Structure 1
Amino acid sequence: MLALLYPGQGAQSAGFLHRLPPHPVVDATIAEASDVLSLDVSTLDSSDALRSSVAVQVSLVVAGVAIQRRLADAGIEAQLHAGLSVGAYAAAVGCGSIAFADALRMVRTRAELMERAYPSGYGLSAIEGLTEAQIETLIGTSNGASGDAADSRVYVANVNAPRQIVVAGSDAALAAFNERASAAGAHRAKRLAVSVPSHCELLKEASEALDAYASTISFRTPTHVYVGNRRARALRRGEDIREDLATNMRYTVRWFDALTTIVERGATVLVEAPPGQVLTDIARLAYPEVTALAAASFAGDRLVEVVARRAGEPE
């Protein structure tokens, strides 16, 4: 059984849209996105453009949908879809719950709301080597020592793996927390290429605004399994997927739990959409018995050949 995984903000790299497989379906996806958004989407992956959360989030969704469509064009359908953070929008398109055009407009609105709320001075840090419980304890002492001001607090944003936790906050709060985490035994405490404090209460108002916008969009019952961000379980109703997309900027992403759900539901082959392979590395470490492939690691259009062979192997 095949599952498609779609990465979130921070996975982007300059030129990644131009490294997508050379195929008419991919070209048509980029052209469709350009038409919907009234801009040339192919320009959004330059180094300068990727300084904008809008460009990053839109580009990631376009890349994810392009890969899903390329595989489908070759007769390879994923039965499960899950995306980390903004990757959830590509997952919602892939599972058949939302139209690509509506997902693009919603993602652009999402990114604009996030940038408007925190145009600068905030972001995310990845902490490796400490458990969620250790991070929570460290956050408690850090927040207690620094008071209740929003610009001094740190929040758990993503639980990507048992010892890979992402935290959100202001630049100053993250710098101080990275030092505390390193002193507490973290193997790595590093800022990510994300300029907004995603997945925490700092984005409560932005999330509420996006929820109101999402009420105008049509969501359908998914034709394939969609695994959500917030509760990390399969969502079977369009309304539940709408809520997951509209509110995931406000709540912790339980990615590792979502990955576990995917494997427990029988996935034997996992394919991570471009441009990175962080989700692939997490899956390989946690579930070595499952085949995990990063689309970005295959030159040209070879991904289709490899996935067709692996997904067709007896379980």
Structure 2
Amino acid sequence: MGKTALLFPGQGSQQVGMGKDFFDQVPISKEIFQKANERLDFDLTSIIFNGPQEELTLTYNAQPALLTTSAAIFEALKQYEVVFDYVAGHSLGEYTALVAANVMTVEDAVYVVRKRGELMEKAVPAGEGSMAAVLGMVQEELENITKQISNEGTLVQLANLNCPGQIVISGTKEGVQRAGELAKEKGAKRVIPLEVSGPFHSELMKPAASELSKVLDEVTIQDASVPVIANVTAAPVQNKDEIKSLLIEQLYSPVRWEESVRSMIQAGVTTFIEIGAGKVLTGLVKKVDRSVKTYNIFDLSSLEAVVHDIKEV
């Protein structure tokens, strides 16, 4: 029988109203939202459920909001005793994966990602950094382009290796723009600027990484109860010290999502369940390998449908 992996989305998947039916109808999920409010000492749930979208999208709100919502849905799923063998999350989503693997409490994780969002916002002044998705280009070719532009004095690098033909670049505004232009000249199908507030997963985030290390010192980190596929290495990790070190590196390193998915498939995973707002990650999984089964749990009816399907198997 094939193995199951739980996936947790990152920034960009946030939607006003996400998780509201769990808050209203599942007491254990409602507790997660309340714990997040208490730990952050402000009404995060009001921003999640009522918006406005612009406020929810701010990095330091979006990160704890997505984590809280996914963790609340995960708690509801746990009641059905669904067995899973691996967890993974995209960028911020890795923290939710760590909550699912009992590495951190949800309260501590919410606190860390709120601080992480603030540090990411502070690391590079607004308008100086950017990110763009490059479609239809081979990784090696794009990497050569980013190295060429960086060597010319404007930093840009690969940030998210999402799936075949979809790579996000990150760096200075000028570096990303020049790399995008050169990529198009060399055959990229499209270059899409991303609406983000900074050059995430680039060397420009190193100042934030040293500060994040101090934040992680404030919380308890334990060994993982199931293997977590780390963004930085695309390999399973369970040791608490290694997890902490990888979380710091993750801020300025590429998210190796395609490799992570391949690594889980190679380990025998045949079912991927994305937990939280949106369907971005299952979409990427399908682009890596169409033969695997994918599910999304984003509201109560999808939770019931997924549990029914999995239990039938």
Report the TM-score when normalising by structure 1: 0.90
Aligned residues: 306
Amino acid at match of 1:97: V
**Aligned equivalents of 2:248 and 2:211: distance in 1?**
9
Describe the SS at the equivalent of 2:272: strand
Other-structure match for 2:62: 56
Measured after TM superposition, the shift of residue 313 of structure 1 is 5.0
Query: Percent identity between the aligned chains?
Result: 27
| Superposed CA RMSD | 1.9
Return the offset for 1:228. 0.6
How far apart, CA to CA, are the structure 2 residues paired with 1:284 and 1:23? Answer: 31
The CA distance in 1 between the partners of 2:150 and 2:237, in whole Å, is 34
Could you tell me how far 1:250 is from its partner in structure 2?
Answer: 1.3
Is residue 196 from structure 1 mapped to residue 181 from structure 2 by the alignment? no
**Match in the other structure for 2:82:** 76
Cα shift at 1:49: 1.0
Rounded Cα–Cα distance in structure 1 between residues aligned with 2:304 and 2:191: 38
**Aligned partners of 1:191 and 1:235: how far apart in 2?**
33
1:66 is displaced (CA, Å) by 1.4
**Displacement, 1:268?**
2.1
Counterpart for residue 132 of structure 2: 125
- Kept in 1, the 8 Å contact 2:36–2:68? The answer is yes
CA contact (8 A) 1:158 1:254 kept: yes
Match of 1:42? 45
| Contact 1:17–1:59 under 8 Å retained in 2 | no
Contact between 1:139 and 1:155, CA under 8 Å: does it hold in 2? Answer: yes
For 1:137, which of 144, 147, 157 is the aligned residue? 144
Q: Find the aligned partners of 1:6 and 1:272 in 2 and give their Cα distance.
A: 6
Question: Which of 274, 277, 283 is the aligned partner of 2:276?
Answer: 274
Structure 1 distance, partners of 2:194, 2:221, is 32
Question: How far apart in 1 are the matches of 2:301 and 2:268?
Answer: 25
Distance 1:129 1:105 in 2: 38
2:30 to 18, 27, 30: 27
Q: Distance in 2 between matches of 1:14 and 1:44?
A: 8
Q: Within 5 A, what are the aligned runs for 1:249-268?
A: 249-268=251-270
Contact 2:137 2:165 in 1 (8 A): yes
Paired letter, 1:24:
P
* TM-score scaled by length of structure 2: 0.91
Are the aligned partners of 2:201 and 2:254 in contact in 1 as well (CA < 8 Å)? yes
Structure-2 residue corresponding to 1:210: 212
Preserved CA contact (<8 Å) 2:164 2:287? no
83-92 or 205-214: which moved more? 205-214
Q: Deviations over 1:236-272 (max 9, x none)?
A: 2111112222321111111111111222222222111
Distance 1:175 1:201 in 2: 17
Q: Is the 8 A contact 2:206 2:252 kept in 1?
A: yes
- Assess if the C-alpha contact under 8 Å between 1:207 and 1:250 holds in 2: yes
Letter in 1 for 2:148: T
Match of 2:9 in 1: 7
Higher mean C-alpha displacement, 26-35 vs 213-222: 213-222
Q: Deviations over 1:64-110 (max 9, x none)?
A: 21121111022224321101111100000001111111111111111
- Note the residue ranges of structure 2 that are not aligned, 5 or more in a row: none
Conserved 8 A contact 1:43-1:49: no
What pairs with 1:266-305 in structure 2 (closer than 5 Å)?
A: 266-296=268-298, 300-305=299-304
Q: CA deviation at 1:193?
A: 2.7
Map of 2:310 onto structure 1: 311
Where does structure 1 lack aligned partners over 5 or more consecutive residues? none
